[in-house]
Amino acid sequence: MPDIHLKKLLKSFLIILLSGIYLSSFAQKVTEPTDTPADWSKPYPPFRIAGNLYYVGTYDLGCYLITTSKGNILINTGLANSEKIIENNIKELGLKLADTKVLLTTQAHFDHMGAMAALKDKTGAEVMVNENDAQVMKDGGASDYALGKGFSTYKPVSPDKILRNNELITLGTTSITVLNHPGHTKGSCSYLFNVKDDQKTYKILIANMPTIVTEKKFAEVVDYPTIEKDYNYTLKNMRALKFDIWLSSHASQFKLHQKHQPNSAYNPAAFIDRTGYDKELDELQKAYDKKVQKR
């Protein structure tokens, strides 16, 4: 091959190589939003909610630990700075972070996924996600229809298992039903399962409440053409659910701090609140109806 052609070939190869390195480094850039409420990062003492279910999150970001004979399940991981808070909370309960075998999220937004990658690295736990949030999890929120900014807002995570509606996650004697509740994100989901103590069995709903995060009219959300239909489905589905205790992705949504104070005695009955759940859904229905009227 003549030298001139060889030089051109090497130059082209170098350009491609450098471009790949640049794009790869750009894709790995993580910029977590800094204008977040202080309560999202504020530590909160962990406590036993009911049976083998514990609260291990921050003052407002709901993170839940379910203990089983085969290891533990952690639902949601808060912001990136929640990593140490969650780890310390689990330790304070007399439990071990290393016993975490499954990591779940109610939605693939940075305020519930921020510490997921770090906790996966520390525990080796299996990350599971709703099929419709899998891509957003893989790119760290970059492609989210509402909050996506073209760069990662949390460290990307490759899920180990894809979850579908009504699928069962079983560990030990605990079985969790996955409920598709799309709208807030394309793959938002809630979890329904039983826990028990010496007195009784409680049906628990960890609900991802369908708050509206886009300022656009539904018809203008071109990256999510089924958004209006999905919100409508979720609101109707959530109305029909039966449970004893409900919790959610944010402590403020289920009025945690009115129901529990640090160092309060074990009291599952404080979280039996169907009236509060229905009231929250009423407000979300009003917001949905108002949005639909803006066509």
Secondary structure (DSSP) of 64-89: EEEEETTEEEEE---STTHHHHHHHH
Calculate the alpha carbon distances from 92 to 51, 84, 88, 123, 144 in Å. 17, 12, 6, 17, 35
Q: Are strands 126-130 and 100-104 parallel, antiparallel or unpaired?
A: parallel
Chain position carrying tokens 């298992």: 161
Of the two residues 95 and 263, the one the predictor is more confident about is 95
pLDDT at 57 over 60: yes
Q: In the prediction, which pLDDT does 24 show?
A: 43
What per-residue confidence (pLDDT) applies to 294? 79
Average pLDDT value for the chain = 92
- Residues forming a β-bridge with 205: 192, 246
Mark 42-55 as b/e (b = at least 16 C-beta within 10 Å): eebebbbbbbbbbb
Whether the per-residue pLDDT at 217 is higher than 90: the answer is yes
Task: Dump pLDDT digits (tens) for 163-186.
Answer: 999 999 999 999 999 999 999 999
CA atoms lying within 13 Å on the CB side of residue 120? 20
Three-state SS at 7: helix
What's the farthest any 2 CA atoms get from each other in the chain? 86
In the structure, what pLDDT confidence band is assigned to residue 245 with cuts at 50, 70 and 90? very high
The residue behind tokens 């779940």 is: 104
Structure tokens at 8: 């051109």
Burial 93-105 (b: 16+ CB within 10 A, else e): bebebebbbbbbb
pLDDT of residue 15 exceeding 50, the answer is: no
Mean per-residue pLDDT for 101-107?
Answer: 98
- In the predicted model, what is the mean pLDDT of residues 268-295? 96
Token reading at 242: 């039966």
Q: What are phi and psi of 4, to 5 degrees?
A: -65, -40
292: pLDDT strictly greater than 90: yes
**Is 106 within 8 Å of 132 (Cβ atoms)?**
no
**pLDDT 10s digits, 36-52:** 999 999 999 999 999 99
The first and second tokens of residue 128, run together, are 């599971």
pLDDT of 149 reads 87
- The pTM of the full predicted model, rounded to 2 decimals, is 0.90
| Contact yes or no for 60/39 (Cβ under 8 A) | yes
pLDDT mean over 18-33: 58
> Please, which pLDDT band fits residue 119 given cuts at 50, 70 and 90?
very high
Lowest-confidence region among 2-6, 41-45, 183-187, 251-255: 2-6
Cα angle 69, 75, 77 (rounded to 5 degrees) comes to 125
Task: Judge whether residue 193 has pLDDT over 90.
Answer: yes
Question: DSSP assignment, residue 30?
Answer: B
Q: Strand pairing of 100-104 and 71-75? A: parallel
**Cβ distance 208 to 248 under 8 Å?**
yes
Structural domains for the chain = 37-292 (3.60.15.10)
Q: Are 250 and 61 in contact (CB under 8 A)?
A: yes
| Contacts for 274 with CB less than 8 Å, ≥ 6 apart | 246
pLDDT in tens, 133-159: 999 999 999 999 999 989 999 999 999
pLDDT at 28: 63
